[in-house]
Structure 1
């Protein structure tokens, strides 16, 4: 009998480790994501899992990346070194996607189409929880379910929600491992500088737009019956996202 180590066990999705592989339920966009992962392997991007096929249960099979991820990732980006490494990983990922050719029948989680100014395929869920860490160094980038063609700023803004962070002091100190309320402007500037932006002009507005668009993506996926978004919506997550956006709008002076 094959031993399975359950990495994620929700009613909507079970992710397991078997040996050096990870097995995840396939989605309508899995083939497109696999094409992207094959591209990343071909160009020598070392941080993405490798595609190993589909197993007898219809699950996608990916290589396992050893390290810490999920909730353990939050503490990794609190100090300057971790924040800088996190931003540089995003830049390296974006640069690796610039030569990606879209499959003829590409399907993305939210039905994205490449805008005329798109430079990259965004990860779509670039947060500390989807980075694999060994010590303070990122060694992997996982969970490409929300990858889609878009401008670089989409991923930058999405990440900054969580690592500037665009969250109140209580959440920062109680849940996100900050020893004291963070200097949000300094962290935003450090992230943008490490990524390679020459200016932070427009970044705060981009984060506010991304918070609105993220809520809309959750709403769309929930309406289509996709999980975990349907469960999130039923449990009031959309209202929570609305409260976070309102906080960001009221406190943008902390970031400028």
Structure 2
């Protein structure tokens, strides 16, 4: 293992040092991610070294759409570069649900997949594995939620939070992103508004997303088949966290998260034909 360098920032801020500012958004590390100047401090995880190697690779190949790994501070936290921009958190602003934002996320994900293709995942340890049929050599992000993408002027410029990254396939990652950004869920839980039909709008946005990514007809068939699995995999992580008493996931799950997850699963199953029709020309 490489000897990761220690950041020059002190572990404890003192008068005259740049103060720490809590960053909002996300659930896993809620209350534990801060900004210090042009860096971000986050808890170290068992798979952090793998993530650091991934970020170093992305930097080496010139991919600008991810934070840079800076080091580990004296408090034992990972130090990443701070990516300037906006992150969408509820209640979602109109720009986050625009078609411009939607297509730019698909293009950013496609560019990430191209950049990471030359990274050797086999030399590293990863977290929760993907379902067997969706595993592969490509390290996928696996959590491209709205609050894990940084925007500038309404255009996606960077993915953040690679905590769930693991070897998979591009089509799996597209399915993960498309179900979140369309979004594919019960109208009671959809952030989409307007005079039109919410369901039709989400299916149209699904088609826009895969068009922007540039999928072939065969690839679209695979994405359609992966949507339910992606949903189950994601919420399996949440359920595991709740089982172990996670301080943020537990209240979320009890106060409506479990019910929403079930509504989404029911919606995806009930609308699987409409979803496939929207995806495949």
TM bracket (short chain)? 0.7 to 0.9
Deviation sequence 1:141-168 (CA, Å, 0-9, x none): 1100000000112211111112222122
Measured in 2, the distance between the counterparts of 1:6 and 1:236 equals 25
- RMSD (Å), alpha carbons: 2.7
Deviation, structure 1 residue 204: 2.5
Match of 2:223 in 1: 203
Match of 1:79 in 2: 98
Please say if 1:134 is aligned against 2:149. no
**SS of corresponding position for 1:210:** helix
Question: Any gaps of 5 or more consecutive residues in structure 2?
Answer: 1-14
Question: Any gaps of 5 or more consecutive residues in structure 1?
Answer: none
Match of 1:184 in 2: 202
Measured in 1, the distance between the counterparts of 2:202 and 2:242 equals 32
Deviation sequence 1:28-69 (CA, Å, 0-9, x none): 111110010000000110011111111111111000011101
Please say if 1:147 is aligned against 2:162. no
In the comparison of the two structures, how many residue pairs are matched? 252
Question: Is the 8 Å Cα contact of residues 134 and 168 (structure 2) preserved in structure 1?
Answer: no
Deviation sequence 1:179-203 (CA, Å, 0-9, x none): 3425233222211111110122243
Please say if 1:99 is aligned against 2:114. no
Please say if 1:4 is aligned against 2:20. yes
**SS of corresponding position for 1:145:** coil
1:163 to 173, 181, 203: 181
Question: Is the 8 Å Cα contact of residues 113 and 140 (structure 2) preserved in structure 1?
Answer: yes
Match of 2:5 in 1: none
Of structures 1 and 2, the larger Rg is shown by 2
In structure 2, the CA distance between the partners of 1:111 and 1:220, relative to structure 1 (3 Å rule), is: farther
In structure 2, the CA distance between the partners of 1:12 and 1:83, relative to structure 1 (3 Å rule), is: closer
In structure 2, the CA distance between the partners of 1:133 and 1:116, relative to structure 1 (3 Å rule), is: closer
Match of 1:26 in 2: 44
Deviation, structure 1 residue 211: 1.1
In structure 2, the CA distance between the partners of 1:198 and 1:103, relative to structure 1 (3 Å rule), is: closer
Question: Is the 8 Å Cα contact of residues 176 and 230 (structure 2) preserved in structure 1?
Answer: yes
In structure 2, the CA distance between the partners of 1:228 and 1:71, relative to structure 1 (3 Å rule), is: same
**TM-score, normalised relative to structure 2:** 0.79
Question: Is the 8 Å Cα contact of residues 121 and 139 (structure 2) preserved in structure 1?
Answer: no
Deviation sequence 1:108-127 (CA, Å, 0-9, x none): 23156997961411101112
**SS of corresponding position for 2:33:** strand
Deviation sequence 1:56-101 (CA, Å, 0-9, x none): 1111100001110141776444222221111010000111111111
Measured in 1, the distance between the counterparts of 2:260 and 2:59 equals 37
In structure 2, the CA distance between the partners of 1:14 and 1:117, relative to structure 1 (3 Å rule), is: closer
Deviation, structure 1 residue 138: 1.5
In structure 2, the CA distance between the partners of 1:168 and 1:225, relative to structure 1 (3 Å rule), is: closer
1:55-70 aligned within 5 A: 55-70=73-88
Measured in 1, the distance between the counterparts of 2:135 and 2:21 equals 42
